[in-house]
Structure 1
Amino acid sequence: MASGSAALDQIVAKLKGSSDPKRRYEYVLWLAKKLPPAPAELQCESNRVKGCVSQVFVAPTAGVNGLQWQGDADAQITKGLLALLIAGLNGLSASEVQAIDPCFIAETGLQGSLTPSRANGFLNILRHMQAQAADLISNN
C-alpha cells in the first residue's frame, strides 16, 4: 500500500521486512538517536502534540524543496516514531502531507511492539503534522 510518500513507503517496507518485533522496536530507537536536536524555541504550545503521554514538539519550515520538519520528544520510543514521520514527510508539499493515509501505520507492524497509548500517540503526531501543513496552506 502506498502512503503518498516514497520515503515513508521505504521505511514501512524496511519495518515490514522484519518478522521480529524486537528488531522493529530497535529500528525505531535507532531513528530516535539519528534525529538532530531541535532548537529550544521549537518547544512552544503551537508545536506541542496533544494526546501524547510524552512531551512531543514538531514544526515545519516551508522551503523550495517542500516542508522540512524539526521535532523532539522526551521519550526515546516516541522520539523514534517522530523521527520516522519526519524522515517520511520531509520534502513533501503541505498538500502532500495532508494527503498521507494513516493506514501506513498498521503496515509498519509496530502495533505489536507499542502500548495502545504510544500507538495512539503515533497517530496524534501524524495528525498534528497534517494540521500544521493545513495551516501553512491557509496562511498563504
Structure 2
Amino acid sequence: MTETILPAKLAEIRDEFLELPETDRLQLLLEFSYELPPVPAEYEDHPELRERVVECQSPVYIIVDVDDGDRVAMYATAPAEAPTTRGFASILAQGIHGLSADEVLSIPDDFPQTIGLTRAVSPLRISGMTGMLMRTKRQVRAKRA
C-alpha cells in the first residue's frame, strides 16, 4: 500500500489521532469540536454561499473560497449538539484553510478513514466527513473554472 502525501496540517492532525490509544480518540475529536473556526462576518448575510452537506444527519453547511492566489479558505457550521460532526468539520476547516487549490484537490478521498476513528464512530458519521471533503473539493474545482 503506497502512502499518499497529505498536506502537512492534515498529516499532523491524523498523526495526533493515531498516536492516541483508540479509547482517547473521541475525546480529541470532542476537543476539535470546540475549536471549529467561526464563519467570517462577510459571509453571514450570504446564505447562498453555504452548501448543505446532505451526507450529515445534522445541519452542516460549508463555505469554500478560492482567492486570486489560488489559496483555499474553508468554513463550516455545525450545531454544538452534534459534537462528532462538528469535530470532523473543524478538522477539515483547520486542515484545509490556507492550502493551495491543488493541495486540497490532492487530499485522498479516504482521508476520513485514515484518522483512526472508524471503530469509534458510526460509518454514517465517517460518511458525513467524507461528504464534507468531497463537496469542498467540488467547490474548489468549480471556483477555479
Q: Identify the TM-score tier after normalising by the shorter chain.
A: 0.7 to 0.9
- How far apart are 1:137 and its partner, in Å? 1.1
Give the partner amino acid of 1:101: P
Q: Distance in 2 between matches of 1:128 and 1:42?
A: 18
Any conservation in 1 of the 2:65–2:140 contact (CA below 8 Å)? no
Structure 2 residues without counterparts, runs of 5 or longer: none
Q: How many residues align?
A: 137
Identity %: 25
Structure 1 residues without counterparts, runs of 5 or longer: none
TM-score, normalisation: structure 1: 0.86
Any conservation in 1 of the 2:10–2:95 contact (CA below 8 Å)? yes
Residue 100 of structure 2 corresponds to residue 98 of structure 1: no
Any conservation in 1 of the 2:37–2:90 contact (CA below 8 Å)? no
Q: Distance in 2 between matches of 1:41 and 1:76?
A: 25
Distance 1:119 1:127, change over 3 A: same
The structure with the greater share of residues assigned to helix is 1
Residue 56 of structure 2 corresponds to residue 49 of structure 1: no
> Which residue of structure 2 aligns with residue 24 of structure 1?
25
Matches within 5 A, 1:1-140: 1-21=3-23, 23-38=24-39, 40-41=44-45, 43-44=47-48, 46-63=50-67, 64=69, 66-74=71-79, 75-138=82-145
Task: Give the secondary structure class of the aligned counterpart of 2:141.
Answer: helix
TM-score, normalisation: structure 2: 0.83
Deviation above 6 Å: which 4+ runs of structure 1? Answer: none
